[in-house]
Amino acid sequence: MMKRSLETTLLALLGLAFAACSSPAPGEADKDVAPVTPDVAQVGEDAGEDVVQAAPVELRVASFNTSLFRPAAGKLIEDLETGTDPHALAIARILQRVRPDVVLLNEFDYDAEGVAASTFREKFLAKSQADGLAPLEYPHFYVVPSNTGVHSGFDLNNDGQTVSTPGMQSYGDDAFGFGVFEGQYAFVIFSKYPIERAQARSFQKLLWRDMPGNAMPEGWYSEQEQAVFRLSSKNHIDLPINVDGRMLHILAAHPTPPAFDGAEQRNVRRNNDEVRLWLDYITPGQADYIRDDAGVEGGLAADARFVIVGDLNTDPIDSGVMGAMAALLASPKTNDTLPESEGAVEKSALDARANLQHKSPAKHDTADFSDATVGNLRVDFALPSANVEALGSGVFWPKSGEPGYNWTRASDHHLVWVDLRIE
């Protein structure tokens, strides 16, 4: 009996693995995926219910570059309203599997009314998207305005023309952040806990030149351009979450890719300083120059709890040549839990090429990039402050054939989470 039952189980598992491997399109496989395993989910699920104000709370905070951007304004809403978009389905399945309590979704096109976010919530997250996956309820979300596709009025890429008509690559190149329409590649935060909207601070308009010792390239931006050029390629936002009476600051951003540069390396330099902005923000004595969009100056309170979330577009070891990312991880204010996955190890070996030159262990990779020159990198972070207890962390990157593997083809990035206990 025992043996037979084991064989049946094995056959069922093999069937699952086969189904996961054989389906070509993201979101169409894994309908019979196994229920969540305790090591990947459910932590914090019961926290917050029936607890008194002073009881510790466990919660999961995650960062996920979903690649849910579209080539034109309004297209993401159109796709989400179908309720069946395969890309959005795959993203929803990953979220329903990992079940973060607070999650940043990068590359999610912005609209001021939050129609895309609420549609994704109602039509995808609030419905079970595969057997064994429970619906996911987020009573709160916050859509973040972005510098992507905001016309600067200047020829920022110095190609001799100032392009003011949205829709073209050349328009994106002259915008404050690359985007062919306003809000492309923006981000949104979903939360099970209330968001203290009145206390949110954003740094969308902070000028790059106002950062002391900035790395702005010499001779690239004119005086007039420097007078308007914003540091944040999308936005940097400090969003306080009220975790049963205790504040947790979600510091969310998505610095520019350190690529598409000439010899001046303007994006490499901007990426570094966008990461450095958070380091300065959390470091007492380094934040005096920081002014938020409401005109309030200064950084985060020294005793504040925070989690830095985002696709920061730089690997502390294998791409962060200018050092801000490594400095942020090494800061006594942060606690680098070194999230890892087995899928990243498998994929790095399979991709080889540039990955063979990497010094950082492949298990920490979070993004699967082209392997001719870049390779797979650790660029996505859910980095908590050192004054919060971290219970665990990980990257949702299953090995080929494992449940959920096919969903992860929906984005070149993988979800990173950290589990926290807040006293």
Q: Which of 79, 368, 380, 419 binds Ca ion (CB under 5 A)?
A: 368
Site for Ca ion in 391-410 (CB under 5 A): none
Q: How far is the CB of 374 from Ca ion (least distance, A)?
A: 8
Q: How far is the CB of 103 from Ca ion (least distance, A)?
A: 24
Residue number, 311 or 351, with CB nearest to Ca ion: 351
Residue number, 55 or 350, with CB nearest to Ca ion: 350
Q: How far is the CB of 172 from Ca ion (least distance, A)?
A: 10
Q: How far is the CB of 399 from Ca ion (least distance, A)?
A: 15
Q: How far is the CB of 344 from Ca ion (least distance, A)?
A: 8
First to last CA, the chain: 48
Site for Ca ion in 328-367 (CB under 5 A): 351, 358, 365
Instruction: For residue 6, count other CB atoms closer than 10 A to its CB.
Output: 10
Q: Which of 376, 406, 408, 411 binds Ca ion (CB under 5 A)?
A: 376
Q: How far is the CB of 314 from Ca ion (least distance, A)?
A: 12
Closest CA to 390 of 4, 16, 44: 44
Site for Ca ion in 149-188 (CB under 5 A): 155, 157-159, 174
Residue number, 198 or 372, with CB nearest to Ca ion: 372
Residue number, 174 or 419, with CB nearest to Ca ion: 174
From residue 105 to residue 144, the character string flagging contacts with Ca ion as x (rule: CB under 5 A) and all else as - is: ----------------------------------------
- Part of the chain binding Ca ion (CB under 5 A), chosen from 49-57, 86-94, 132-140, 148-156: 148-156
Q: Are 285 and 334 in contact (CB under 8 A)?
A: no
Give the Cα separation of 129 and 84 in Å (integer): 10
- Part of the chain binding Ca ion (CB under 5 A), chosen from 18-26, 47-55, 104-112, 372-380: 372-380
Q: Which of 45, 81, 196, 371 binds Ca ion (CB under 5 A)?
A: 371
Residue number, 79 or 351, with CB nearest to Ca ion: 351
# binding residues, Ca ion (CB under 5 A): 11
Site for Ca ion in 275-334 (CB under 5 A): none
Query: Which tokens sit at 218?
Result: 């010499």
Q: How far is the CB of 120 from Ca ion (least distance, A)?
A: 27
Full 3-state SS string of the chain? CHHHHHHHHHHHHHHHHHHHHHCCCCCCCCCCCCCCCCCCCCCCCCCCCCCCCCCCEEEEEEEEEEEECCCCCCHHHHHHHCCCCHHHHHHHHHHHHHCCCEEEEEEECCCCCCHHHHHHHHHHHCCCCCCCCCCCCCCEEEEECCCECCECCCCCCCCCCCCCCCCCHHHHHHECECCCCCCCCCEEEEECCCECHHHCEECCCCEHHHCCCCCCCCCCCCHHHHCCCECCCCCEEEEEEEECCEEEEEEEECCCCCCCCCCCCHHHHHHHHHHHHHHHHHCCCCCCCCECCCCCECCCCCCCCEEEEEECCCCCCCCCCCCHHHHHHHCCCECCCCCCCHHHHHHHHHHCHHHHHCCCCHHHCCECCCCCCCCCECCEEEEEECCCEEEEEEECCCCCCCCCCHHHHHCCECCEEEEEEEC
Q: How far is the CB of 231 from Ca ion (least distance, A)?
A: 17
Q: How far is the CB of 354 from Ca ion (least distance, A)?
A: 8
Q: How far is the CB of 377 from Ca ion (least distance, A)?
A: 5
Residue number, 155 or 293, with CB nearest to Ca ion: 155
From residue 241 to residue 280, the character string flagging contacts with Ca ion as x (rule: CB under 5 A) and all else as - is: ----------------------------------------
Residues that bind Ca ion (CB under 5 A): 155, 157-159, 174, 351, 358, 365, 368, 371, 376
